[in-house]
Amino acid sequence: MDENVASVRRADIVIGIPSYNNARTIGHVVRAANAGLLKYFPQFDGLIINSDGGSTDGTAKAVLEAQVEDSHLLLLETPKKPVNRLSVPYHGIPGKGSAFRNIFEIALRLGAKACAVVDSDLRSITPEWIDLLIRPVLLHGYDLVTPYYHRHKYDGTITNNLVYPLTRALYGKRIRQPIGGDFGLSARLLSIYTTRNDWESDVARYGIDIWLTTLAVVEDFKVCQSVLGAKLHDPKDPGSDLSAMLMQVMGSLFALMEEYEDRWPDVEGSAPVDLFGFRYDVGVEPVAVTTSRMLDQFRHGLDDLTEIYEEALEARTFQQLRELAGDSVFLLPDEVWVRVVYDFACRFHRAPVGRGQLLRSLTPLYMGRVASMVEETRDMGPQDFEERMERACRIFEEMKPYLIQRWNGAAPLEEEPKEVMQEVKP
């Protein structure tokens, strides 16, 4: 790696692309990044780094051979500096986090003023993405740019039902895609990331996206969002096996709650985050959903994991889940779901042993929540669906005193705040 990096003396802008066996798609990503640098930042030295995790399908070769096609149609007629490209292996714990660390360290070593990281399997990335991820950092003083995508309402169910509402309630910032995967970053923020010791923990395997976002928010860096349009990838049926991803993301999120337990209890409500780009309606790929399978998992989980749920959940919550499971038309009210999430966070905090089993047991309850939301919102358009998500997020915020009490070991509230109960009544 050192020999390759030594061939590049400096770079003003670095675009990092972590990969593992992405030969089929990474060429398009490289071409889009290359075109974006040349079109929008011709006066700067640009570098594209592919940080690869040991691909055997020719990913590195695809990166080095990628060319910008029809450049005369895409690029401005101005003098342009050539964009360098590197494909380097990363070392350490396997995972996206190690790839990011590699990219960040090289960017700092080369004196980069701004850096962006994008997924290697994107089908919808355009040169404009590079502008939207880099310009707020380079010209407007932001430290972290998170993506704002147009997604099908059932694409990103972990984000919609867990990560977005929970991080918003904890840290008070309405960052719609905190685990979006595509980010713009300042040199100032990179220097903080690279000096942390978290890289040798599970964050390097699993929770790098939520770690990047949380650290920037809690440490008071300047954060914004950029409208990137649709994110086209291979969407999965929310009823399929998302257990591994759920464990990874929630384990990291709960661990960050412990690290910053002196910060989030004092945060009340939430505030919008600056948004760059033009919001517009765009077609998105449909996501097929099979709720019957999800409900089967939910009901079997209540029967098979009773012992775990009795330890993790407040007794009233577990009883309500059992009663709801028997309803002919299943709907899981927001306030019950919020108590489930908060109870799991508190159990994770109190019981350092057996956390893997605890996180795995969240999957059936999550499946029940998604099935409920699908049935409730099946006929909703995008705007109505976002309003429904907003209502759920407000309940996460309003019930935060319940989380704080449980986290500190106090007895649960006798009843939910009246305004919360009124919020969810039909």
The verdict on 155 and 248 lying in the same domain is: yes
Residue 355 CB contacts under 8 Å (≥ 6 apart), including other chains: 251, 348
| C-alpha to C-alpha distances, 125 to 26, 31, 91, nearest whole angstrom | 11, 10, 27
Task: Decide if 61 is inside a domain.
Answer: yes
Task: Decide if 285 is inside a domain.
Answer: no
First to last CA, the chain: 60
How far is 363 from 38, CA to CA, in rounded Å?
Answer: 45
How far is 261 from 312, CA to CA, in rounded Å?
Answer: 19
Residue 274 CB contacts under 8 Å (≥ 6 apart), including other chains: 142, 223, 224, 225
**Residue 17: strand, helix, or coil:** strand
Question: What pLDDT is recorded for position 82?
Answer: 67
Task: Decide if 253 is inside a domain.
Answer: yes
Residue 379 CB contacts under 8 Å (≥ 6 apart), including other chains: none
Residue 213 sits in a domain of what CATH number?
Answer: 3.90.550.10
The verdict on 211 and 354 lying in the same domain is: no
> Could you write out the three-class secondary structure of 178-224?
CCCCCEEEEHHHHHHHHCCCHHHCHHHCCCHHHHHHHHHHHCCCCEE
Residue 347 sits at the vertex; the CA angle it makes with 343 and 352, to the nearest 5 degrees, is 160
The verdict on 188 and 298 lying in the same domain is: no
How far is 122 from 233, CA to CA, in rounded Å?
Answer: 6
Residue pointed to by tokens 């993506």: 147
The verdict on 398 and 271 lying in the same domain is: no
**Residue 228: strand, helix, or coil:** strand
Question: Strand 84-89 to strand 173-174: parallel, antiparallel, or no bridges (unpaired)?
Answer: unpaired
Residue type, 93: I
Q: Tens of pLDDT along the chain (426 residues)?
A: 456 666 778 899 999 998 888 888 889 999 999 999 999 999 999 999 888 888 888 888 888 788 654 332 222 234 456 677 777 676 655 678 888 999 999 999 999 999 999 998 888 899 999 999 999 999 999 999 999 998 888 888 999 999 999 999 999 999 999 998 899 999 999 999 999 988 887 766 678 999 999 999 999 999 999 999 888 765 454 555 577 889 989 999 999 999 999 999 999 999 999 999 887 666 666 777 888 999 999 999 999 999 999 999 999 999 999 999 998 889 999 999 999 999 999 999 999 889 999 999 999 999 999 999 999 998 898 889 999 999 999 999 999 999 999 999 876 655 444 444 333 333
Domain final residue, candidates 234, 253, 276: 276
Q: How many domains does the chain contain in total?
A: 2
The verdict on 204 and 340 lying in the same domain is: no
The verdict on 25 and 82 lying in the same domain is: yes
Task: Decide if 284 is inside a domain.
Answer: no
Question: What pLDDT is recorded for position 282?
Answer: 62
Task: Decide if 398 is inside a domain.
Answer: yes
The verdict on 206 and 318 lying in the same domain is: no
Residue 407 sits at the vertex; the CA angle it makes with 404 and 410, to the nearest 5 degrees, is 85
C-beta of residue 112 within 8 angstroms of C-beta of residue 184: no
The verdict on 195 and 337 lying in the same domain is: no
The verdict on 306 and 262 lying in the same domain is: no
Full-model pTM: 0.88
The verdict on 234 and 367 lying in the same domain is: no
Task: Decide if 19 is inside a domain.
Answer: yes
Task: Decide if 208 is inside a domain.
Answer: yes
**Residue 42: strand, helix, or coil:** coil
Distance, C-alpha 330 to centroid of its chain: 28
What are the start-end ranges of the E strands in 231-328?
271-272, 275-276
Residue type, 175: I
C-beta of residue 352 within 8 angstroms of C-beta of residue 220: no
The verdict on 309 and 408 lying in the same domain is: yes
DSSP label at residue 163: I
- Residues β-bridged to residue 51: 18, 88
Task: Decide if 424 is inside a domain.
Answer: no
The verdict on 266 and 154 lying in the same domain is: yes
Question: Strand 114-117 to strand 13-19: parallel, antiparallel, or no bridges (unpaired)?
Answer: parallel
Domain hosting residue 55, numbered range: 2-276
DSSP label at residue 160: I
